[in-house]
């Protein structure tokens, strides 16, 4: 089910771990996902 269809999600720190899983789940639910990563 596309519960986030037509929505935009901004996920900070989404290059790995929990942030990555959240971004992938939101994309699978139909959201357009904007990810952000800033190296150490």
The 10s digit of each residue's pLDDT in 1-40 is 679 999 999 998 888 899 899 999 999 999 999 988 777 6
Domain boundaries, position 23? 1-40
Q: How far apart are CA 7 and CA 16, in angstroms?
A: 22
Question: What is the count of structural domains for the chain?
Answer: 1
**Are residues 7 and 30 in contact, defined by beta-carbon separation less than 8 angstroms?**
yes
Q: Looking at residue 40, what is its pLDDT? A: 66
Q: Is 6 left (phi over 0), alpha (psi -120 to 50) or beta?
A: left
List strand residue ranges (DSSP E) for 1-40, in order: 8-12, 32-36
pTM of the model: 0.78
């Amino acid at each position: 089910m596309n519960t986030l269809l037509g929505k935009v999600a901004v996920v900070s720190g989404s290059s790995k771990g929990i942030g990555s899983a959240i971004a992938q789940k939101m994309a699978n639910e139909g959201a357009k996902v904007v990810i952000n990563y800033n190296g150490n």
